[in-house]
Structure 1
Amino acid sequence: MNGRSEFGEAGKLNGKARIAAMGDLHVKEHGSPSLKDLFTEISQAADILVLTGDLTDLGKPKEAEILAADLRSCTIPIVAVLGNHDYECGCVEEIGRIFKNAGVQLLEGQAVEIKGVGFAGVKGFAGGFGRHMLGSFGEPAIKAMVAESVEETMRLENALRQVRSERAMVVLHYAPIQETVVGEPQEIYPFLGSSRLAETIDRFPVKAVVHGHAHRGTYEGRTPGGAPVYNVASHIEKPTGRPYALLEL
């Protein structure tokens, strides 16, 4: 896998898939610019589009409908996970249906294979990194937070067990490593992701990991086991110079 390679007809001939990945679109009910032209551009540059959550700003069905309408200009397969903002209004099932009806392969602990690439996806959750990772101790609220982090990790493991392709990509919203959240205030690191996700990823032969959530983070890093990780939040500067990254698997 080469996250910085050139993409042209050679990519098609050598059997590799070109994946455009981006997250944190934060589509609003009023005032968001149309993304139709961007999705048309992506359709010409890549074989698959991956969206890493926070597709809507407040989790409103109307926001999802606006994005779904723009996604009609995308002519390649779309894989996505939801983010924390997509849960804000308590309409997550409805917005999930809207995206699925628009042809989006929405991953919520499942896996799907497209063009020979196996995608395993979950939202993920907070919890912190390394020796600063939150433990299940003390008040019930803290234990509930850790339990949610563990549950999302188990859902990721179940999804990865479903992958049969030798080319596997993990799709998350929350970060699995600290390296790609660097740039954010250190005080909020525990709310940006969890090392538990990386621990699970490193038990499988994963070729690449993409996530969002950390708008001021860092584009590229690696899990302790060496899997490349890319923060593809639309706000992050990328080698393409565009809001999306281009990766080749």
Structure 2
Amino acid sequence: MTILAQLSDLHLTVDDATRVRSLRTALTTLLALSTPPDAVVLTGDLADHGRPEEYALLRDELARLPIPAHPLPGNHDDVAALLTAFPEIPAANYAVTVAGVRLLCCDSTIPGRDDGALSDPEWLDAALAEAPGTPSVVAMHHPPYEVGVGWIDAMGHARPERLGDVIARHPQVVRVIAGHVHAGSVRAFAGTVATTCPSTYRQLHVDPGGRPALSDAPPGLALHLIDGMSAVTHFRPVEETPAPV
């Protein structure tokens, strides 16, 4: 079984210790698991302003992990600054293999906008075609479905059908994972399952007809357990003391 941890929407700044402390607690939670994840994917909004010093801070914090970390951009990020801070990332769209599972990290950002769309569906299609028999996870920032909260959906994924057309051609995709909405959610998508991840910073106040608001719910993360062509996703809070009771 492959365990892929997902952190999202860190919104790191150098002048807010609370956000840094929350990320550290999330990393501690992962390190306390009896079976550590094989890798961590960070699904965007890693920095709050896309500044080099914010990515330097992120890199320093991720150095605590004895496992690989794979970041990708969100609408708060600056793609060029992110790639400069993480020179091991070959491009904004890239693929890696994690313990027998292919992880395809996709850029869904549109410069100057909060909504998004898959930047290069042709790249994703070709990358998935390279390994049709390998279980695959497609990761991005903007979820390709509406979560039912109007003000969030207004800045969602502008052209989810383009992604859906690609995913439907590749049945080895066991998950499409995203961030952006600061909440865990699950929906069927293009013959597979798509999910969003809680934030390590602040959570969405889920009120379908309500005004824009975040909640005081605890930070969270997602764990994706992949066994062949099957997968299960768990959402868990980030706690100061992650040990079981």
Q: TM-score, normalised by structure 2?
A: 0.71
The verdict on how the C-alpha distance between 1:60 and 1:17 changes in structure 2, with shifts beyond 3 A counting, is: same
Structure 1 residue 245 and structure 2 residue 183: aligned? no
Higher helix share: 1
- Alpha-carbon separation, structure 2, partners of 1:233 and 1:242: 7
Check the 8 A contact 1:118/1:168 in 2, yes or no: yes
Q: CA deviation at 1:247?
A: 1.2
Structure 2 CA distance, aligned partners of 1:182 and 1:76? 35
State the one-letter code of the partner of 2:86: F
SS at match of 1:191: coil
Number of corresponding residues: 197
Residue 97 of structure 2: SS of its match in structure 1?
strand
Aligned to 2:241: none
Q: TM-score under structure 1 normalisation?
A: 0.70
| TM superposition shift of 1:198 | 2.3
Task: State the partner residue of 1:39.
Answer: 27
Q: Distance in 2 between matches of 1:70 and 1:150?
A: 28
Structure with the larger strand share: 2
Asked if structure 1 preserves the Cα contact closer than 8 Å seen for 2:9 and 2:43, the reply is yes
Show structure 1 runs of 5+ residues with no match: 1-15, 127-147
Cα deviation per residue 1:197-225 (whole Å; 9 max; x = unaligned)?
A: 2222121120011101123x551111042
Q: Does 1:70 align with 2:37?
A: no
- Structure 1 residues 81 and 151, CA, compared in 2 at 3 Å: closer, same or farther? closer
1:39 is displaced (CA, Å) by 1.4
- Return closer, same or farther for 1:81/1:228 CA change in 2, 3 Å cut-off: same
Instruction: Please list, as runs of the form range in 1=range in 2, the aligned pairs for 1:13-24 lying within 5 A after superposition.
Output: 16-24=1-9
Distance 1:106 1:29 in 2: 26
Residue identity in the other structure for 2:99? K
Q: Does the C-alpha gap of structure 1 residues 236 and 220 become closer, same or farther in structure 2, counting only changes over 3 Å?
A: farther
- Mapped contact 2:55–2:81 kept (Cα < 8 A): no
Match of 2:126 in 1: 158
- Cα RMSD (Å) of the superposition? 2.6
Matched residue type, 1:62: E
Distance 1:177 1:190 in 2: 11
Query: CA contact under 8 A between 1:210 and 1:231: conserved in structure 2?
Result: yes
Q: Distance in 2 between matches of 1:76 and 1:233?
A: 21
Report % sequence identity. 27
Q: What residue in structure 1 maps to residue 231 of structure 2?
A: none
Contact 1:111/1:162 (CA < 8 Å) preserved in 2? Answer: no
Distance 1:213 1:106 in 2: 23
For residues 184-199 of structure 1, the aligned pairs below 5 Å read 184-185=150-151, 189-193=153-157, 194-195=159-160, 196-199=162-165
1:9-43 deviations in Å (ceiling 9; x for gaps): xxxxxxx1111112111101211333234213213
Counterpart contact for 1:120–1:169, Cα < 8 Å: yes
Partners of 2:204 and 2:90 in 1: CA distance: 23
Q: By how many angstroms is 1:110 displaced?
A: 2.3
Equivalent runs, 1:97-246 vs 2, <5 Å: 97-100=84-87, 108-125=92-109, 149=117, 151-163=119-131, 166-178=134-146, 181-185=147-151, 189-193=153-157, 194-195=159-160, 196-205=162-171, 206-215=173-182, 219-225=185-191, 227-234=192-199, 235=203, 243-246=220-223
Distance 1:52 1:222, change over 3 A: same
